[in-house]
């Protein structure tokens, strides 16, 4: 089929040229003696004008046309289109294929619910905004390939069918037809294999890797996802993070022409939790958490007496809008985080108001004013209880007010590293110690002394890159000393038999000259979501699952033939069809 160019390759420079275009009908306007057609291809829309004497076939939206004509200047330019100053005066219009009336509007703004969009994804993908997301995704990948190749990285593919290993989420299992009763697992990440590549001497590896986790979904999570996976040898943390900053700067510049200022700020995990109530803080606005436990050191209020933590946030200029209904909604939020409630006070006409004021002494009022710099029309929200829950709740409330009050400037990007994560965390259920990230994360050298005495004091060489309050990637330096690794397994309560069963081949490899190594993974889907300006990760994946982990278009997952199950030695019992 003859085609001289894509629509948006044409401009005023091409006026007078004969062209042949193909594309879909986005809109048709029939004015009797003249017909205007908005022709859409992957690059964008151009206006086709058919005057008297031109045979215009019966066409409707989403018909595919082949148009021959001459480029001309438009008498009424459209500033909203890249091709808005020109049009194509048609000599001939042919219908390549017809189309039924679509169940959704093919435009940036559509009338369809997400279920409809997912069911007819092939139509949803025709929308220009959806194609923009895929363009950004492609450009991110190209930037990654080019930057890492220049830095002497090599792309290596790791297995999709692998061994089930404990990595924090449930595995997707694949039954073996040849070995009945045995299963492969789809990789949650290439973690073990990329470390083995370092032992294999590759020194610098990367991969655009498909990963799979069988876990509950949310707006920014999918069961199958893609990460930019990276591992290096012989770099310390500063060297590695500097290299990754160069990569992220390149990605931003080559995808959305945004200049990231380097070096990025670094916040310790402790600072992030203390000030923002989150290990992925959005610092584009200035509401912070404040420790007020000292203010209430002598308080007789029951909720404060034995509280592990008492923290507060101040929100400026909202006291007049903080109704009983608003206070009830804040209290309900507290209960979602496992806290009994909140203490909320307002500052109005130079006085504190609210039901909690009767519990405040004059010295406590003065202390709050001093710590929080409270002014008229401000509110103070105080939470007391377990440290982690208090921080998480107030972190969520600061985000809520940041969005509701328009404190976040659109089109801005806030990038930072969160470092010095705890190596271990203690289970709130049974008090057992587990790895905060994974058992191969390297402890800080200065904290090795606590391995035998108090492991919960140990910080790690772990780091996350946070963009606009999203964890866009994370990683760590890895343990390469066999003795340290054995002690870590011991702290985690793993016996030699447990280690051999869960990590045998991996641990064995560490006996053959393991280099110091470090790595991380960027979430490609999440990066695309951030750079594309959407808050829904399903927008940036061509064929995603819904929140029930179902593909409405294909119907997956679904039942399979009985013969297929017999081949695998599997029988389905106690299940509803």
125, part of any domain: no
The two structure tokens encoding residue 376: 């008229």
- Say if residue 535 is in the same domain as residue 422: yes
Q: If phi over 0 gives left and psi between -120 and 50 gives alpha, with beta otherwise, what is residue 116? A: alpha
Residue ranges with strand state E in 349-488: 351-353, 379-385, 415-419, 424-426, 433-435, 462-467, 470-477
Question: Tell me, what's the pLDDT at 576?
Answer: 58
Residue whose pair of structure tokens reads 């929308």 in the numeric block: 127
| Same domain membership, residue 197 and residue 93 | no
Q: Quick check: 67 and 4 in contact, CB under 8 A?
A: no
Where does a domain end: 361, 377, 404?
A: 404
Q: Are residues 398 and 449 in the same domain?
A: no
CATH number of the domain bearing residue 25: 2.40.50.140
Q: What tens digit of pLDDT does each residue of 435-469 get? A: 998 899 999 999 999 998 899 999 999 999 999 99
Residue 504 makes CB contacts below 8 A (sequence gap 6+) with none
Picking from 351, 379, 404, the residue at the C-terminal end of a domain is 404
- The CATH number linked to 184 is 3.30.930.10
Q: Please state whether beta strands 379-385 and 309-315 pair in parallel, antiparallel, or not at all (unpaired).
A: antiparallel
**Beta-carbon count within 10 A of 461 CB:** 22
Number of domains in the chain: 3
**Residues 298 and 397 grouped into a single domain:** yes
The answer to the question of residue 191 being in a domain is yes
For 395-451, the pLDDT digits (tens) are 999 999 999 999 998 889 999 999 999 999 887 677 788 899 889 999 999 999 999
pLDDT at 167: 62
Q: Which of 358, 376, 404 is the last residue of a domain?
A: 404
The residue count for the chain: 577
Give 3-state DSSP helix, strand, coil % of the chain, rounded to 5: 30, 25, 45
145: cis peptide before it, omega within 30°?
no
Using an 8 Å Cβ cutoff, are 108 and 127 in contact? yes
For the chain, residues with pLDDT lower than 70 are: 166-168, 219-220, 428, 575-577
How many angstroms separate the Cα of 266 from the Cα of each of 232, 444, 574?
21, 16, 52
C-alpha 172/C-alpha 182 separation (Å) is 13
Contact call for residues 377 and 347 (beta carbons, < 8 A): yes
566 is a domain residue: no
Do residues 262 and 188 both lie within one domain? yes
Q: Give me the pLDDT at residue 537, please.
A: 94
Shared-domain flag, residues 331 and 430: no
Does residue 279 lie within any of the structural domains?
A: no
Cα–chain center distance at 254: 19
> How many helices (H) and strands (E) would you count in the chain?
14, 22
- Do 157 and 260 lie in a common domain? yes
Query: For the domain that residue 297 is a member of, what is the CATH number?
Result: 3.30.1360.30
Instruction: Find all residues with CB under 8 Å of 231, minimum gap 6, and list them.
Output: 194, 195, 197, 198, 204, 205, 206, 517, 518, 519
Torsion sign (Cα): 103, 108, 114, 118: positive
Give pLDDT, residue 575: 60
∠ Cα 176 168 573 (to 5°): 45
Examine the domain organization and report whether 71 and 150 are in the same domain. Answer: no
**Within-domain flag for 136:** yes
My answer on whether 379 and 435 are in the same domain is: no
Residue 555 located in a structural domain: no
Query: Taking the chain, what is the end-to-end CA distance rounded to the nearest angstrom?
Result: 48
Helices 128-150 and 524-532, packing angle to 10 deg: 120
Residue 302: per-residue pLDDT: 87
Distance CA 110, CA 539 (A): 13
Same domain, 134 and 259: yes
* Predicted local distance difference test score (pLDDT) of residue 503: 85
Note whether residue 226 is domain-resident.
Answer: yes
In order of 97, 292, 469, the CA distances from 229 in angstroms are 42, 42, 21
**Rounded to 5 degrees, what are φ and ψ at 359?**
-90, -5
Does 425 share its domain with 400? no
Other Cβ atoms within 10 Å of 484 Cβ, number: 15
**Are 255 and 317 in a shared domain?**
no
Calculated CA dihedral for residues 104, 109, 114, 118, nearest 10 degrees: 60
Say if 561 falls within a structural domain.
no
The torsion angles phi and psi of 364, rounded to 5 degrees, stand at: -70, -40
E strand or H helix at 249: helix 237-256
Q: Which residues are CB-neighbours of 205 under 8 A, at least 6 positions away?
A: 153, 154, 155, 156, 194, 197, 198, 229, 230, 231, 232
Domain around 165: 130-267+415-541
């Amino acid at each position: 089929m003859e085609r001289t160019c894509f629509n948006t390759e044409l401009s005023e420079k091409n006026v007078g040229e004969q062209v042949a275009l193909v594309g879909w009908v986005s809109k048709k306007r029939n004015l009797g003696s003249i017909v205007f057609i908005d022709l859409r291809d992957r690059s964008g829309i151009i206006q086709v004008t058919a005057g008297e004497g031109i045979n215009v076939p019966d066409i409707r939206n989403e018909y595919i046309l082949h148009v021959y004509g001459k480029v001309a200047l438009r008498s009424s330019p459209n500033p909203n289109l890249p091709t808005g100053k020109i049009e194509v005066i048609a000599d001939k219009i042919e219908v390549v294929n017809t189309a039924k009336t679509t169940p959704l509007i093919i435009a940036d703004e559509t009338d369809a619910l997400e279920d409809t969009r997912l069911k007819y994804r092939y139509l949803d993908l025709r929308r220009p905004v959806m194609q923009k997301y895929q363009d950004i995704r492609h450009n991110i990948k190209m930037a990654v390939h080019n930057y890492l190749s220049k830095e002497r990285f090599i792309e290596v593919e790791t297995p999709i069918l692998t061994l089930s290993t404990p990595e924090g989420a449930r595995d997707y299992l694949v039954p073996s037809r040849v070995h009945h009763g045995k299963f492969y697992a789809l990789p949650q990440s290439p973690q073990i294999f990329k470390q083995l590549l370092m032992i294999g001497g590759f020194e610098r590896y990367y991969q655009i890797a498909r990963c799979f986790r069988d876990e509950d979904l949310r707006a920014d999570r999918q069961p199958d996802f893609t990460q930019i996976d990276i591992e290096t040898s012989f770099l310390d943390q500063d060297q590695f993070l500097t290299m990754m900053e160069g990569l992220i700067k390149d990605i931003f510049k080559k995808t959305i022409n945004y200049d990231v200022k380097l070096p990025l700020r670094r916040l310790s995990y402790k600072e992030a939790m203390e000030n923002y109530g989150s290990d992925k803080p959005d610092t584009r606005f200035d509401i912070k958490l404040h420790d007020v436990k000292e203010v209430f050191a002598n308080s007789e209020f029951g909720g404060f007496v034995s509280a592990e933590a008492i923290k507060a946030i101040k929100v400026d200029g909202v006291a007049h809008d903080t109704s009983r209904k608003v206070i009830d909604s804040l209290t309900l939020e507290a209960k979602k985080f496992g806290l009994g409630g909140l203490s909320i006070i307002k500052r109005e006409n130079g006085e504190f108001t609210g039901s909690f004021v009767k519990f405040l002494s004059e010295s406590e009022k003065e202390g709050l004013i001093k710590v929080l710099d409270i002014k008229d029309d401000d509110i103070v929200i105080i939470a007391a209880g377990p440290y982690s829950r208090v921080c998480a709740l107030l972190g969520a409330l600061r985000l809520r007010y940041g969005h509701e009050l328009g404190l976040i400037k659109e089109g801005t990007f806030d990038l930072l590293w969160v470092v010095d994560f705890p190596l271990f965390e203690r289970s709130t259920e049974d008090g057992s110690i587990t790895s905060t990230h994974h058992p191969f994360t390297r402890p800080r050298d200065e904290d090795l002394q606590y391995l035998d005495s108090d492991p919960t004091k140990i910080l790690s060489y772990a780091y996350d890159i946070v963009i606009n309050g999203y964890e866009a990637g994370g990683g760590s330096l890895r343990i390469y000393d066999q003795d340290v690794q054995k002690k870590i397994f011991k702290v985690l309560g793993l016996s030699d038999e447990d280690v051999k069963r869960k990590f045998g081949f991996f641990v064995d490899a560490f006996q053959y000259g393991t280099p110091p190594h470090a790595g991380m993974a960027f979430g490609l889907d999440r990066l695309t979501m951030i750079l594309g300006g959407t808050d829904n990760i399903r927008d940036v994946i061509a064929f995603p699952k819904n929140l029930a982990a179902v593909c409405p278009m294909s119907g997956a997952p679904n039942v399979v033939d009985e013969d297929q199950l017999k081949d695998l030695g599997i029988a389905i019992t106690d299940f509803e069809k």
